[in-house]
Amino acid sequence: MNEIYQSVILAPWPWYVAGPIMGLSIPLLLFFGNKMLGVSSSMQHICAALIPTKAEYFNYDWKTGAWNIVVAIGIVLGGLTGRLFMQNPNPINIASSTKSDLQSLGITDFNGMLPVEIFGNNNIMSFQGFLFIVIGGFLVGFGVRYAGGCTSGHGFMGLSMASKSSLLAICAFFAGGLIMTNLIFPLIF
């Protein structure tokens, strides 16, 4: 029993288990809710609900998107459950080539989900922390809505429908990530 708990609940899941489960959320949402998967719209609805603004983009009844905010709350609860009951006690098992690349950038602690050197509480107020956390988060939010969707809306849902717009957006997501990782990271570490 303890072994099952260790290998199924605590250990990370391989991609061929987790990927299909995430993919299943698409038909589940279509069948039970008649809604298309997409997480980033929830942030638009949160703005529309909470921030007073005259912008047309937020000028609608946010309650039409309440279901989307509820999905986001479910995701938060999934994260909380992962922390409380399913946390992997071992350092992350990434490729050794990635490890050595990151070590050459000064990242040596491979515990947890985020490197403590960048995202730890002590680094949040530093310039580097500001760049990765505040600027990075801002670019994510601005970019996803400008592109019309995120990795779930364009990536999972859009590609499942073979949508041209989603394919173009995914290529741009990837191009941005490659430019940042390979050209800009060497300058900012």
Residues 26-45 that bind another protein (CB under 8 A): 26-37, 39-40, 42-44
- Asked if 5 touches another protein (CB under 8 A), the answer is no
DSSP string of 99-159, one letter each residue: HHHHHHTT-----SSS-HHHHSTTTTTSHHHIIIIIIHHHHHHHHHHHHT--IIIIIIIIH
Q: Report how far residue 58's alpha carbon sits from residue 52's, in angstroms, rounded to the nearest whole number.
A: 9
- Asked if 65 touches another protein (CB under 8 A), the answer is no
Using CB under 8 A, which of 1, 2, 3, 162 touches another protein? 162
- Asked if 75 touches another protein (CB under 8 A), the answer is yes
Least distance in Å: CB of 2 to another protein?
18
- Asked if 146 touches another protein (CB under 8 A), the answer is yes
- Asked if 25 touches another protein (CB under 8 A), the answer is yes
Using CB under 8 A, which of 65, 172, 187, 189 touches another protein? 172
- Asked if 150 touches another protein (CB under 8 A), the answer is yes
Q: Residue 95, Cβ neighbours under 10 Å: how many?
A: 8
* Block residue for tokens 């000028």: 59
Using CB under 8 A, which of 2, 7, 121, 187 touches another protein? 121
Least distance in Å: CB of 3 to another protein?
17
Q: Report how far residue 5's alpha carbon sits from residue 88's, in angstroms, rounded to the nearest whole number.
A: 11
Tokens of 4: 């099952």
- Asked if 60 touches another protein (CB under 8 A), the answer is no
DSSP string of 130-147, one letter each residue: IIIIIIHHHHHHHHHHHH
- Asked if 51 touches another protein (CB under 8 A), the answer is yes
Element (H, E) at 166: helix 164-179
Least distance in Å: CB of 114 to another protein?
5
